[in-house]
């Protein structure tokens, strides 16, 4: 089983969490794209979805799933999204696709966060994947200096503007021993829109695809 097959298997395993008659939140990325494709066969069961990015909105609409504004939706029963890294406590690094801010908002507004990924995403310590930080453009240099002070090596994601008009700094060199503290610390820097650490609101279930099928991991 290659990585894409593993992502697809994890995505399809998330269908069992659908709550018939209720809206759901939908994340962003290649694993989520498999989930959206699989949703097509279940669209009669759900009234619509709240999307975390323009890319997912387009894909949902293409298969005929109505996209609803979060402000009109209230609390969502489930949110399904991928991750760049997850630890055994289901704290995540996200934002490889640059949609971290809206993903964080929809995750926060959902009762259950189901994370779908291939098994390479489960790591002992977060931080090998460069941590995405979305910033207001005028704060780019200031935030970059502060991230260096915190021990990171920030790099501007060239030619990329988020759905919110923000820029992304990808921060390598961080060994994220205390994800809660780091999420707070980076999140408090002036000009940061959001940080791709999902520790305060991590996932509730992790569905990991691999050669032996899909494994369900709960937070330790
Ligand atoms: C997008 C994300 C994605 O969930 C993350 O990058 C994983 O992507 P993929 O499913 O393509 O591996 O956080 O902002």
**192-208 confidence digits (pLDDT tens):** 999 999 999 999 999 99
Inter-CA distances, 162 with 36, 55, 104, 124, Å = 21, 11, 14, 29
Question: Active-site residue among 85, 103, 119, 134?
Answer: 103
Q: Where are the domains of the chain?
A: 3-122+200-217, 131-195
186: confidence class by pLDDT, cuts 50, 70, 90: very high
For the entire predicted model, the pTM comes to 0.97
Instruction: Categorize the per-residue pLDDT at 175 as very low, low, confident or very high, splitting at 50, 70 and 90.
Output: confident
Asked if 3-122+200-217 and 131-195 have one fold, the answer is no
For ligand 1, atom 5: residue with the closest CA = 83
Euclidean distance between the first and the last CA atom of the chain, given in angstroms as a whole number: 27
Burial code of 13-46, b = ≥16 C-beta within 10 A, e = fewer? bbeebbeeeebbbbbbbebbbbbbebbeeeeeeb
CATH architecture of 3-122+200-217: 3-Layer(aba) Sandwich (3.40)
CATH, range 131-195: 3.30.70.260
Q: Above 90 in pLDDT, residue 220?
A: yes
Using 50, 70 and 90 to split pLDDT, how confident is the model at 1?
confident
Pocket flag, ligand 1, residue 95 (CB < 6 Å): yes
Nearest-atom number in ligand 1 for the CA of 118 is: 12
* CA 74 to centroid of ligand 1, rounded, Å: 25
116 CA to centre of ligand 1 in angstroms:
10
| pLDDT exceeds 80 at position 167 | yes
According to the model, what pLDDT value does residue 218 have? 98
């Amino acid at each position: 089983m290659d990585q894409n097959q593993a992502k697809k298997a994890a995505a399809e395993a998330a269908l069992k969490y659908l709550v018939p008659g209720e809206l759901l939140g939908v994340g962003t990325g290649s694993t989520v794209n498999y989930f959206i494709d699989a949703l097509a066969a279940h669209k009669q069961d759900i009234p619509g979805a709240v999307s975390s990015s323009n890319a997912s909105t387009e894909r949902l609409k293409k298969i005929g799933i109505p996209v609803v504004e979060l402000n009109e939706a209230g609390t969502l029963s489930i949110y399904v999204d991928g991750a760049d890294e997850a630890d055994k406590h289901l704290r995540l690094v996200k934002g490889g696709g640059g949609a971290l801010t809206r993903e964080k908002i929809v995750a926060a507004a959902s009762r259950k966060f189901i994370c779908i990924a291939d098994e390479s995403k489960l790591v002992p310590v977060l931080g090998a994947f460069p941590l995405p930080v979305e910033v207001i453009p005028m704060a780019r240099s200031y935030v970059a200096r502060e991230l260096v002070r915190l021990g990171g090596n920030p790099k501007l994601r060239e030619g990329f503007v988020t759905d919110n008009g923000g820029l992304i700094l990808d921060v390598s060199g961080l060994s994220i021993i205390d994800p809660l503290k780091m999420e707070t610390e980076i999140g408090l820097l002036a000009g940061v829109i959001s940080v791709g650490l999902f520790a305060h609101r991590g996932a509730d279930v992790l569905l990991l695809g691999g050669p032996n099928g899909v494994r369900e991991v709960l937070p330790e």
